[in-house]
Amino acid sequence: MDLVDSKERKLEPPEVLVYAAATNNGLVPAGGETPYPVHAMISAIAAETEIPGTDVKQFGNTLFIAHRGKGANRNKMAGRALNADTGRNFLNNSLQYISYLQKKGITHYSTSFGTDGNFLNAFKLFQRLTKGIDTKIAIGKHKRSGEYMAFILIGEDPIPTGV
């Protein structure tokens, strides 16, 4: 399946989900091949979006699914992106998403994005774009699983609007 440039055609959320399931894009935390059939992954993610308190937001052809903490962690979220958009659009979609989280009062966001590093360049660019403002991004790789992770401390300065 080919990426779909959101500037040419915006997909509906279920279409982004099907693309992500068919390409294993953002669905299997440890990356690589999945032992699950595509229809099972679609069903599981669709069910996840129905969990009370789950935040689902789409920018371009990227669907962001996140879960907000409770109590002392109410300003923290953990989530992931399911992407069917081009690389440049994914970066812009992510910048819009972080700005959206900032407006919701979220101060901490974390995500993991597999072992293949597909999203790694986007996070490195995002890291460069936020130099000089109070939003900070740390990127790491888990020692045992080899999974990449990003931790974002969302400040109060405006998030760059795009590249």
Superfamily of chain region 13-153: Gcn5-related N-acetyltransferase (GNAT) (3.40.630.30)
* Residue 2: per-residue pLDDT: 86
- The model's pLDDT over 136-156, given as tens digits with 9 standing for 90+, comes to 999 999 898 888 999 999 999
Token pair 């959320």 is at which residue? 13
Residue boundaries of the structural domains of the chain: 13-153
In angstroms, the CA 27 to CA 140 distance is 19
* Structure token digits, residue 55: 């935040």
Q: What is the pLDDT of residue 34?
A: 58
Q: 17 pLDDT exceeds 70?
A: yes
Identify the band that residue 41 occupies on the pLDDT scale cut at 50, 70 and 90.
confident
Q: Over the stretch 79-112, which tens digit does the pLDDT of each residue have?
A: 999 999 999 999 999 999 999 999 999 999 999 8
Torsion of CA 79, 83, 88, 91, to 10 degrees: -10
| Residue 127 vs residue 30, higher pLDDT | 127
* Residue 31 binned pLDDT confidence (cut-offs 50, 70, 90): very low
DSSP 81: E
CA angle in degrees (0–180, nearest 5) for 38-16-153: 110
Report the pLDDT value the prediction gives residue 77, as an integer from 0 to 100: 98
